[in-house]
Amino acid sequence: MSDKQTRFDMPPHTDVAWCPGCGNHMLLTAVKEALDDLGIDPRQLVMVSGIGQAAKAPQYINANMFNGLHGRALPAALGIRLSNRNLVVVVESGDGDMYGEGGNHFLHAIRRNFDVTMIIHNNMVYGLTKGQASPTSPIGMRTPVQVKGVIPEPFNPLAVAIALDAPFVARTFAGDIAQTRSVIAEAIRFKGCSIVDVFQPCVIFNKQNTYKWFREHTCSMPEDHNPADRIAAFALAIQHEPLPLGIFYRNGKRALYEDQSGITETPLYRQPPPGDGEFEKLIDAYR
Amino acid sequence: MRDLSIVFEGAAGQGVQTITKLLLPVLKNCGYHVFSCTEFMSRIRGGSNTTEIRVTEKPRQAYVFRIDMLFALSPMAHEHLDRRIDDDTLVFAESERCALPAKGNCIETPVKALALEAGSPVFSNTVIAGMVLGLLGVPLEELDALLRDRFHEKGEEIVLKNITAARLGYDWGRNCPAAGNIDLPHCDSDGSPAKLLMDGTAALGIGAIAAGCNFISSYPMSPSTGLLTFLAEKADAFGVVVDQAEDEIAAINAGLGASFAGARAVVTTSGGGFDLMQEGVSLAGMLELPIVIHIGQRPGPATGLPTRTEQGDFNLVLHAGHGEFARVVFAPGTLEELVRLTQRAFAVAHRFHIPVFLLTDQFLLDAETSMEAGAIQRFPLEEAIVETAEEYLPYRFTEDGLSPRGVPGYGKGLVRADSDEHSEAGFITEDFEVRRRMIEKRLARIGPLREQALLPTVTGLIDNARTLVVGWGSNRGVIEEALDLLGDPHVAGLHFSQLFPLNPAVASLLGERKLIVLENNPTSQFAGYLAIETGKNIAGRILKATGEPFSVEEVVEALRKEVGHE
């Protein structure tokens, strides 16, 4: 792990609720370093999350935090962005939170294309509730609930995102801090809805998708891949063996929801209430 | 000279609303008190819908069952309105379009022929508006001016054809023998049409704008959608951020995200949509975030009667959301209260950092009433947000439980909100002592909320009253009118526009009087709470849950039984 100090570090005595060896630790390092690389002011950053072990990440980052309800990070992030577009809004949560409980919001956040970066800890299992299947669990994985093995087809966040023309779609492996850090920095720098799905081993409950498994079943993005090529990006997103890592898709042409909605630079808390004249005019319409 | 009730019946899509939109401002501008309410089916075309216009001696805000004049425009009119037609009802209908009812005084009405004479059947509604004015003997000039205003964008030809249609209808009305039998109430015009005319939704929207509301995130659901539409239309002029959410869960969570960032947020929904929002109510309680939640009630359970009215969601909002935290429930009953209490809802939400509910219903939202312009008041906004210092603690323990509210990006501090139990700094904690103190903090505001709770409004003289008729929300108008007609000095009305928490003074206000509650739900939800809170016995219950509003007649009759006039 990197020992680099960042302005997003919490005090050294901070108790971290993650298990020893969890991929979350490396991902946290990558996120803090990426934020530091970008020179973001912690006071202008809001880390938004839902519920789960991954969703605790904002507790360990020195920034504003909205740790809301399970699955609801994206609606809260939208409300925050639309109320103050000067804030950098980063959503960090798990696969169950973002693809299961919050699946509908995932689709509609992409449709809107407001400026948010989603960092999704994808460990293919539910950790905090002790080992049940997640939306990305592989078929056949046995759990205390899926006693005969997982039946449904795993959710493919990248393919879904590209199908919806999400303008920035990437995947990394938490074990590769350097790549995760640089892709996350790219994603935050990108103006629009950017998605970084991060393979993150759960060392307690997922005995199948281990560090070793991820290393053996992933590969670098093909050097000749053009991220502007949506069809090629989709083909890579549905590729199973091996699973490519890196930036799949990038579309700089989608307009920002904030711009299209006429959101101004003035945060809503600074916006003066309507003047008496305007209010009178409003009433006059009912004369 | 008695109050007049005119009902327009037609299929959905036939434009019955258009007639009302023409007649109400004309009658209002001629100095009459007008009230109108609508009932309609959950369909886009066909069926049988009605709008009732009342022209009244005194300002009224209630539905009457009786129909003095009926314009029956669809084949289903007879079936739909049979029970409301009596021998005194003047029924205006075209036999070609609508089987004339056996009852009532039926008058063959050549709407289509006159519309064709004006140029096209599309002028039928204008013909009818003209007919009504002719029948009532109200001058046509106001209507001409209104038609000019409404249609000038469509060109002079359309304006002139409409004016012709109105004239043809008017002349027919003047010459109709029935015209001589129609009395209009006294007109109190002093020549200055200063009165306003609006529906409940507009009053709600005006209240929200006055309250500095600048964020709405909602999912459309009848009858609550009007607030979303109203604010969307005014978004640019008043700097309101409007987002149509993918579902009600997203709506309230976005509203809370906005509130966290410093917005003055509202969500609007109906009972079924609110079911989905409940997790957000609990979150607002935990995060101590202000949010105003408007619920336009309609009959449930489930999809219920989507376009009808009921007061069935009091228990829902009282208990919504798991865990314990403070909340306030307002239930305005007039346009003036809608404007004032919407502002109060925002003020209370932002003063106490809590969710505040506004309970309305289809009847109140869709009803249009004339009112004095002076009744609309705007209150100054209180400063709600502080600039944070470096050591800012969003949940700092204070004597009154209220921590100064900072927002991200304003000041040197960081703002952290956590749905888990949290420390003063906003981090997850499982420290039992902190938990105990946080509960105390969140509930400490209940005391002041009770003390500041609005007292109910008295109709009549409470000192003389041996019986009190208790109502809330949209029933204010019908209770006031029924008591007026009853004319019993020993019966007074008590209207609650704040349902929760109750002011401690309520119990003594009730005294030992006989209490009769009137609620548009089948189990008297508010009465149940009132009895528990005050220890008083509820002697009588006038309840309804058919999907219709209470009519003045049925309330008068029920009250006569309750107070022993029969």
H or E element: which one contains B35?
Answer: strand B33-39
| Residues from chain A contacting residue B416 (CB–CB below 8 Å) | 64-65, 67
With CB atoms and an 8 Å threshold, state whether A286 touches B215: no
Q: How far apart are the first and last CA of chain B?
A: 27
Per-residue pLDDT, B188: 66
Q: Are B67 and B81 in contact (CB under 8 A)?
A: yes
Which one-letter DSSP state was computed for residue B46? Answer: E
Read out DSSP for B136-156?
A: HT--SHHHHHHHHHHHGGG-H
Q: Are B146 and B125 in contact (CB under 8 A)?
A: no
Task: Write down the domain spans for chain B.
Answer: 4-190, 198-375, 385-452, 457-562
Give B231 to chain A, closest Cα distance, Å: 12
- Does residue A100 sit at the B interface (CB-CB below 8 Å)? no
Q: Are A153 and A86 in contact (CB under 8 A)?
A: no
- Does residue A56 sit at the B interface (CB-CB below 8 Å)? yes
Per-residue pLDDT, B1: 53
Residue A136 burial (C-beta neighbours within 10 Å; 0-12, 13-18, 19+)? buried
Q: Which long-range contacts (CB under 8 A, 24 or more apart) does B79-84 make?
A: B79/B48, B80/B9, B80/B48, B80/B50, B81/B7, B81/B9, B81/B48, B81/B50, B84/B7
Residues whose CB is less than 8 angstroms from the CB of residue A216 and which lie 6 or more positions away in sequence, other chains included: A242
Residue of B219, B419, B423 to mutate, testing the A interface (most A Cβ within 10 Å of its Cβ)? B419
B457-562 has which fold? Answer: Rossmann fold (3.40.50)
CATH 3.40.920.10 applies to domain B4-190: yes
Per-residue pLDDT, A30: 98
Per-residue pLDDT, A138: 97
The C-alpha atoms of residue B364 and residue B475 are separated, in whole angstroms, by 9
> What residue has token string 């899926």?
A146
The total of other beta-carbon atoms located within 10 Å of residue B353's CB is 23
Nearest Cα residue in chain B from A63: B414
With CB atoms and an 8 Å threshold, state whether A79 touches B260: yes
Encode pLDDT of A118-161 as tens digits. Answer: 999 999 999 989 999 999 999 999 999 999 999 999 999 999 99
With CB atoms and an 8 Å threshold, state whether A104 touches B246: yes
- Does residue A110 sit at the B interface (CB-CB below 8 Å)? no
Per-residue pLDDT, B373: 87
With CB atoms and an 8 Å threshold, state whether B256 touches A68: yes
Residues whose CB is less than 8 angstroms from the CB of residue B27 and which lie 6 or more positions away in sequence, other chains included: B34, B53, B55, B138
Pick the CATH number of B198-375 from 3.40.50.970, 3.90.660.10, 3.40.50.12780, 3.90.1170.50: 3.40.50.970
Residue at B465: amino acid letter: A
Q: Running along chain B, 566 residues long, what does each successive block of 10 average in pLDDT?
A: 90 90 94 94 90 94 97 90 93 82 85 96 96 96 95 95 98 94 77 80 98 98 98 97 98 98 98 98 98 98 97 98 98 98 98 98 97 92 94 98 98 98 98 98 98 97 95 98 96 98 97 97 98 97 97 97 79
Residue A188 burial (C-beta neighbours within 10 Å; 0-12, 13-18, 19+)? buried
Instruction: Give residue A273's region: left, alpha or beta (phi > 0; psi -120 to 50).
Output: beta
Judge if ipTM > 0.85.
Answer: yes
With CB atoms and an 8 Å threshold, state whether A64 touches B415: yes
| Residues from chain A contacting residue B217 (CB–CB below 8 Å) | 75, 78-79
CA distances from A77 to A50, A67, A81, A184 (A): 10, 10, 6, 17
- Going edge to edge, which strands form the sheet with A168-173? A218-220, A243-250, A168-173, A193-199, A116-122, A88-94, A45-49, A64-67, B416-418
With CB atoms and an 8 Å threshold, state whether B209 touches A75: no
Residue A1: pLDDT above 80? no
Per-residue pLDDT, B16: 87
Per-residue pLDDT, B192: 57
Q: What is the mean pLDDT of residues A12-20?
A: 93
Encode pLDDT of A48-102 as tens digits. Answer: 999 999 999 999 999 999 999 999 999 999 999 999 999 999 999 999 999 999 9
List the domains of chain A with CATH numbers. Answer: 23-284 (3.40.50.970)
3-state secondary structure B388-447: ECCCCCCCCCCCCCCCCCCCCCCECCCCEEECCCECCCCCECCCHHHHHHHHHHHHHCHH
| Residues from chain B contacting residue A74 (CB–CB below 8 Å) | 250
Give B76 to chain A, closest Cα distance, Å: 34
| Residues from chain A contacting residue B237 (CB–CB below 8 Å) | 278, 282
Give B191 to chain A, closest Cα distance, Å: 14
Query: Tokens representing B560?
Result: 């006569």
- pTM tops 0.90, yes or no: yes
Residue at B166: amino acid letter: A
Give B480 to chain A, closest Cα distance, Å: 25
The C-alpha atoms of residue B340 and residue A213 are separated, in whole angstroms, by 63
Size of chain B in residues: 566
The total of other beta-carbon atoms located within 10 Å of residue A215's CB is 13
Nearest to A87 among B197, B261, B265 (CB): B261
Residue at B441: amino acid letter: K
B482: closest CA among B461, B498, B465, B460? B460
| Residues from chain B contacting residue A80 (CB–CB below 8 Å) | 257-258, 260-261, 408
Same fold, B4-190 and B457-562: no
- Does residue A16 sit at the B interface (CB-CB below 8 Å)? no
> What residue has token string 């001696």?
B57
Nearest to A286 among B197, B217, B414 (CB): B197
With CB atoms and an 8 Å threshold, state whether A65 touches B249: no
- Does residue A169 sit at the B interface (CB-CB below 8 Å)? no
With CB atoms and an 8 Å threshold, state whether A286 touches B255: no
Encode pLDDT of A229-280 as tens digits. Answer: 999 999 999 999 999 999 999 999 999 999 999 999 999 999 999 999 999 9
Per-residue pLDDT, B193: 53
Residue at B224: amino acid letter: S
Q: How confident is the model at residue A40 (pLDDT cuts 50, 70, 90)?
A: very high
With CB atoms and an 8 Å threshold, state whether A80 touches B283: no
